[in-house]
Structure 1
């Protein structure tokens, strides 16, 4: 068996399955038999003739070199792509309640909850390809559940699940700078939450909307929305309310980042101090409600705010006061973002060796954060321009894995 044919066949099978295309449908799409597909995927038949290679790549919505070039194949396989973003966009554009079909059984709340738990774990593990692949189905099922739920408790649970589905979509799309679609997801979350008078759903939706606003240059609007929601919750929470307190604290963290982006030092610090006060009330780290809130995440957000304020020296001074064990306790997604902010701080301060160490650790911990995100690609380009010798070699190797040209 030819090694190249085997590698190409394995990639064809991977992308066929990732696109949810069964063998018969795939065979029909490329105008070949299923036995031909089997032989290609097993490496028993070469797919190196250009017209057929291009045809297969077109059906799979990938570039031909993703099938033939090892580094490009690995980079593409480890990142979400335009097809998956479009699938999420399409899911956001569905309105199941407009066409309820008689006899169609809605999904069970337990099934939607399990899907949310699975994708929530994938998210905090920085496994974004898993999130992107499953999210359109989750959104659709959560939409149907919310449209068919009855009874106060069932309706509230279904709407919370749908808000969380939209929030997950918005957060991931913002990470990959698909800002317009992220805005749509955030707005859908808010439209579901507003009629509920449910602070848990409203706080989650407000954070999504505020982050979308911040990404679009509407930082003042974002801060106003977050503070308004915090004021609403402050008047309604009981002492030690462990359901709402973490969400309450996260509103202030989001506001601190929005303020930092417009160089509002005093508001960024004030919001940080509000979040610290919530940590004192809450006690130990809190990780329910898909919310990681506590001293570690508050410290990480302060670093992020100082970086956005371009106070790189102060950011590094702050990081020096943070217990490394506290950072290690964060889930991979949060810890990787802390390391990306450390990379930014060291780069801004001219500490390129330390920046490379931080970025290398971020890639080891959460490869998709570094190899796929535009933010990390920008950091790689900055380090490529400012390093030499062995250090530059390390950066070039990372850049190659990320598909960033030296």
Structure 2
């Protein structure tokens, strides 16, 4: 058995190798060079300040900073992830137990209410607060309908129940409750499978893959997506085409996380072709050509190609994305690319624009929180702007 690593550099190297990342990749993901990582590992540089430690921990999937530093315990999520005030209420509505009493809602009415909830998510400046007002009751209503309706109506109600759990997963994401994210993804997949609906299973696979990737299980993410691809015929119509394209987008994101550039871009090309054939964006999945092009920035950044990411940013008409949350997420990824190039002025500007699109996205995405926290220590306008952002999203600096 290997002795437990003692120095910060030794611990960093052990976690980097466990994560399967080269020094160049790790350095690129946190906006530093390969030589900088090497110098840390060999003890030629002092241990970084807290904001950079948090970025390293997030990239390496380290849950407690003590595992990196060997010092006092500090759960990474306590700094990088903010809880929403209604989280306990949403959690209670998701817990297992008897189906609440009530009369089932006709499927057409239930579908309309679920559509309205998704519209709230995409169009609200504070999407978590907006959906928190309707999600607990909607979860109960969908569960009652899926249990008490019969035949085709029951299967359609199960499809809507899966959509409600997807929304719950998005609400809970980036909060310090990982078990609830897994629960929402699992409940959604179970409802889709009970409905025996290939389209619903495909969407559940897209959301399940997000959970796997966030837990550094990229191979599991790929498997769940590939299983769902086999259920779809992209030639059968727009709905299957949108879901087929979105699954390939998910495959591209997983390959990007794993550093598999060729496979990532092959999958992205298939998603982009599907989006081009589809025309406009899907009504609630928001899959479309501009969305796929925006995700190309994510891929280039994950693959540590910030120069290519910045060039793609200039060509992406993100403002036409029909979702505030997606526009804000794209701007956060754009900021991430600029920080990889050490361009703090551009990064803080883009985070400010992301905040104007969606306060909740910037408040809850770990990278945005860490970047703001790190830039709070910068001098001049960058530090001033970062401190204003910190105040807006509730970060103590």
Question: Do they fold alike, i.e. is TM over 0.5?
Answer: yes
How far off its partner does 1:226 sit? 0.6
Q: How does 1:118-133 map to 2 (within 5 A)?
A: 118-126=116-124, 127-133=127-133
Corresponding residue of 1:41: none
Structure with greater proportional helix content: 1
How far off its partner does 1:89 sit? 2.2
1:286 aligns with 2:286: no
Distance 1:302 1:80 in 2: 27
- Report Cα offsets for 1:58-94 as digits up to 9, x if no partner: xxxxxxxxxxxxxxxxxxxxx9845522222222223
Cα separation, partners in 2 of 1:201 and 1:96, compared to 1, 3 Å:
farther
Matched residue of 1:404: which SS? Answer: coil
Does the 8 A contact of 2:290 with 2:320 survive in 1?
A: no
Corresponding residue of 1:339: 331
Corresponding residue of 1:321: 315
Matched residue of 2:150: which SS? Answer: coil
Tell me which of 307, 312, 316 is aligned to 2:301. Answer: 307
Matched residue of 2:96: which SS? Answer: coil
Corresponding residue of 1:349: 341
Cα separation, partners in 2 of 1:178 and 1:286, compared to 1, 3 Å:
same
Does the 8 A contact of 2:82 with 2:363 survive in 1?
A: no
Corresponding residue of 2:382: 391
Tell me which of 235, 240, 258 is aligned to 1:238. Answer: 235
Distance 1:195 1:135 in 2: 22
Cα separation, partners in 2 of 1:96 and 1:109, compared to 1, 3 Å:
farther
Tell me which of 83, 86, 107 is aligned to 1:84. Answer: 86
Does the 8 A contact of 2:209 with 2:221 survive in 1?
A: yes
How far off its partner does 1:158 sit? 0.3
Q: How does 1:96-107 map to 2 (within 5 A)?
A: 96-97=98-99, 104-107=102-105
| Unaligned segments of structure 2, at least 5 residues | 1-80
Tell me which of 365, 373, 381 is aligned to 2:373. Answer: 381
How far off its partner does 1:237 sit? 4.2
Q: What TM-score does the superposition give when structure 2 sets the normalisation length?
A: 0.74
Task: Tell which has more relative contact order, 1 or 2 (C-alpha 8 A, sep 6+).
Answer: 2
How far off its partner does 1:320 sit? 2.4
Does the 8 A contact of 2:359 with 2:393 survive in 1?
A: no
Does the 8 A contact of 2:300 with 2:306 survive in 1?
A: yes
- Report Cα offsets for 1:282-338 as digits up to 9, x if no partner: 2x22222x111111000111111222222212211222232x3x5434321111110
Corresponding residue of 2:135: 135
Does the 8 A contact of 2:189 with 2:205 survive in 1?
A: yes
How far off its partner does 1:110 sit? 4.0
Cα separation, partners in 2 of 1:281 and 1:390, compared to 1, 3 Å:
closer
1:221 aligns with 2:220: yes
How far off its partner does 1:198 sit? 1.0
How far off its partner does 1:339 sit? 0.2
Q: What TM-score does the superposition give when structure 1 sets the normalisation length?
A: 0.73
Distance 1:232 1:313 in 2: 38
| Unaligned segments of structure 1, at least 5 residues | 1-78
Distance 1:228 1:353 in 2: 43
- Report Cα offsets for 1:120-167 as digits up to 9, x if no partner: 012112521121232121111101100011122x12220111000111
Cα separation, partners in 2 of 1:272 and 1:143, compared to 1, 3 Å:
same
Does the 8 A contact of 1:297 with 1:330 survive in 2?
A: no
Corresponding residue of 1:400: 391
Cα separation, partners in 2 of 1:188 and 1:169, compared to 1, 3 Å:
same
Distance 1:327 1:170 in 2: 25
Cα separation, partners in 2 of 1:215 and 1:245, compared to 1, 3 Å:
same
User: Please, what is the CA RMSD of the aligned residues?
Assistant: 2.1
Q: How does 1:7-406 map to 2 (within 5 A)?
A: 81=83, 84-97=86-99, 104-126=102-124, 127-152=127-152, 154-176=153-175, 178-233=177-232, 236-239=233-236, 241-282=237-278, 284-288=279-283, 290-322=284-316, 324=317, 327-385=319-377, 387-406=378-397
Distance 2:368 2:84 in 1: 19
Distance 1:271 1:229 in 2: 15
Moved more, 376-385 or 81-90: 81-90
How far off its partner does 1:352 sit? 0.8
How many pairs does the alignment contain?
Answer: 315
